[in-house]
Amino acid sequence: MTAPTAKPVLMTVDDDPGVSRAVARDLRRRYGQDYRIVRAESGPEALEALRELTLRGEPVAAILADYRMPEMNGIEFLEQAMDVAPHARRALLTAYADTDAAIQAINLVDVDHYLLKPWDPPEEKLYPVVDALVETWRAVGIRPVDEIRVLGHRWSAECFAARDFLARNSVPYRYYSIDEPEGARLLEAAGATPEDVPVIVIADGTPLLSPTDAEIASACGLTTDPVSDFYDLIVIGGGPAGLGSAVYGASEGLRTVLVERQATGGQAGQSSRIENYLGFPDGVSGAQLTDRARRQAAKFGAEVLTARDVVALEARGSARVVRFGDGSEIAAHAVVLATGVSYRSLDAPGVADLTGRGVFYGSAATEAPGCRGEDVYIVGGANSAGQAAVFFSRHAATVTLVVRGASLEASMSSYLIKQIEGIDNVVVRTRCEVVEATGEGHLQTLRLCDRDSGTVEAVKAGSMFVFIGAAPRTDWLDGVVQRDERGFVRTGPDLIVDGQRPPGWPLDRDPYHLEASVPGVFVAGDVRAESVKRVASAVGEGAMAVTLVHRYLAEQ
């Protein structure tokens, strides 16, 4: 007879017995049928309880901890609890006067939410937060982390790319360095050599030697092949704009497929924390926002194809045909281009050779543990760079922001500037640029130039993360749709010149606001010329594009 599976645990920690009982009572009333409620009255007591639960194999879904406790405050407790129950979601209970502490917990300890006392009525103030914690835990927190094993070494650019691909697609994995005994043993067992890394060992034990993204995606169960050859709507690009189009298209009854070259989320998905997105007062990581949007699109029936590179777009009569890099095609009545932008390359000697080996584009969160105790440099002065500085400050010995401009105010939100000013190990160097990167096999030294004096200084660097603007990479659309001189796609009013519609426009109406120079092709998000480069506007344009798709389809 099989033993019953233990109920997941919801833990509450508060040194005030009355408050502790009240929280436990409200949790038991709503969640008692499916969860076991565990109460502790101090941080040390709660840590001991967590250790016992871990030894017994009882999963911990969420922890709610009071901020003001003797011996160990709530932030200190939750930081230690991460090591004992790493998959549990975390929330801080706090009084209004301690709101700053709660925000600090979100920024520095990756707490998911904070709750103000009192939380009456719980139906409005407590349960929605716990529902969100539980939903996230069920989606990502109960998967085994050792199904996929990655064998490699830190300074392999190919190994970094594989781990980044898995992480950005929310595929849990365990990493083994082949420079350590266990990694070397697994490498030998796989019949591989150091030249074969990365080696991906999937759940059934099959090793993949130096696999492509498409091979990794297929082995990990990600969808790479469409189930049909014709759809109502094809969405190209899986960032906020593309996910917005997929959610609204599928929810409104359109047969929708989203095609993504690498991983859903785009640049926003790599953000360590987005704090100015409407509806998330506690902030949300790009990965969390992406995961929720992807699951929402799937719930409504949208297909999501991963690791498929779109190389051509063609109008064939009323059909809009998309061709992949392997020569296969799918078609639809309408297309939404939401390919976003990519970080521009840093043009300095040595940077290209060391990319993936200490030099990274975007936040590269998979590298954070390896940065412990190192000096990290972040190049850029916009929000993405600021968010990365806050994130890496929790791991690195020092974080230096290298900014070409005279200040951060022109390019970074004020809330981020204030956060950075309050972090002791973050330094901002304005009017400064990287002029060279050097190292034996990996980044070791950067040469920084003061743009005012011309003085060049060599500094030791463990890692460098680059955020220096964006390029749309729309060369594959050359000759298909109109683009501006930087490659961004023109739409709507921008296509009307001297009162004239774009050349070859076949319809007796002007292009709709988000419509490209080919009818039935719509553009949303950062790839659109003159768009506002914000997550909220990208999602809004993705939704608006679907409304215009409906209008276009009604004309057919």
Residues 6 or more apart whose CB falls under 8 angstroms from that of 257 comprise 226, 228, 231, 233, 234, 235, 302, 303, 304, 305, 330, 332
Which residue from 172, 455, 508, 237 is spatially nearest to 447, judged by alpha carbons?
Answer: 455
Cα(first)–Cα(last) distance of the chain, in Å? 62
Environment class of 510 (CB within 10 Å of its CB; exposed 0-12, middle 13-18, buried 19+) = middle
Query: CA-to-CA distance for 45 and 73, rounded, in angstroms?
Result: 13
Query: CA-to-CA distance for 43 and 274, rounded, in angstroms?
Result: 29
Which superfamily is assigned to 9-141 in CATH? Response regulator (3.40.50.2300)
Which sequence spans correspond to the domains of the chain? 9-141, 149-219, 230-341+519-555, 351-470
Which residue has 């909220």 as its token pair? 536
Query: CA-to-CA distance for 135 and 530, rounded, in angstroms?
Result: 37
Helices (H), 412-492: 414-421
149-219 and 230-341+519-555: identical CATH topology: no
Three-class SS string for 189-242?
Answer: HCCCCHHHCCEEECCCCCEEECCCHHHHHHHCCCCCCCCCCEEEEEEECCCHHH
Token readout for 368 is 């954070």
Q: Tell me what pLDDT residue 267 has.
A: 80
Q: Tell me what pLDDT residue 330 has.
A: 98
- Phi then psi for 226, rounded to 5 degrees? -70, 150
**CATH architecture group of domain 351-470:** 3-Layer(bba) Sandwich (3.50)
Residues 6 or more apart whose CB falls under 8 angstroms from that of 341 comprise 267, 470, 471, 472, 473, 526, 527
CATH of domain 149-219: 3.40.30.10
Residues 6 or more apart whose CB falls under 8 angstroms from that of 267 comprise 239, 340, 341, 342, 343, 362, 384, 470, 526
- CB distance 54 to 84 below 8 Å: yes
Reported CATH class of domain 230-341+519-555: alpha beta
- CB distance 132 to 125 below 8 Å: no
Q: Tell me what pLDDT residue 375 has.
A: 97
| 3 state SS of 419 | helix
Q: Which long-range contacts (CB under 8 A, 24 or more apart) does 388-392 make?
A: 388/272, 388/363, 388/465, 388/467, 389/420, 389/423, 389/426, 390/107, 390/272, 390/273, 390/416, 390/419, 390/420, 390/423, 390/426, 391/272, 391/273, 391/363, 391/365, 392/368, 392/465
Residues 6 or more apart whose CB falls under 8 angstroms from that of 382 comprise 411, 412, 467, 469
- Phi then psi for 97, rounded to 5 degrees? -65, -20
From residue 42, give the alpha-carbon distance in Å to each of 48, 85, 99, 520: 10, 17, 21, 61
Query: CA-to-CA distance for 432 and 205, rounded, in angstroms?
Result: 49
Residues 6 or more apart whose CB falls under 8 angstroms from that of 263 comprise 165, 168, 169, 238, 269, 306
User: Given the DSSP bridges, would you call strands 470-471 and 342-343 parallel, antiparallel or unpaired?
Assistant: antiparallel
Give the predicted TM-score (pTM) of the model: 0.77
Environment class of 373 (CB within 10 Å of its CB; exposed 0-12, middle 13-18, buried 19+) = exposed
Query: CA-to-CA distance for 196 and 403, rounded, in angstroms?
Result: 38
| Cα-Cα-Cα-Cα dihedral sign, residues 255, 260, 261, 263 | negative
Tens digit of pLDDT at every position of the chain (556 positions): 334 457 899 999 999 888 899 999 999 999 999 999 999 999 999 999 999 988 888 899 999 999 888 888 888 898 888 888 888 999 888 876 566 666 665 655 677 888 888 788 888 889 988 998 998 888 765 554 446 899 999 899 999 999 989 888 878 788 899 999 999 999 999 999 999 999 999 988 899 999 999 999 999 889 999 999 999 999 999 999 999 999 999 999 999 999 999 989 888 877 777 888 888 777 777 877 888 899 899 999 999 999 999 999 999 999 999 999 999 999 999 999 999 998 889 999 999 999 999 999 987 777 877 888 999 999 999 998 999 999 899 889 999 999 999 999 989 999 999 999 999 999 999 999 999 999 999 999 999 999 999 999 999 999 999 999 788 989 999 999 999 999 999 999 999 999 999 999 999 999 999 999 999 999 999 999 999 988 999 999 999 999 999 999 999 8
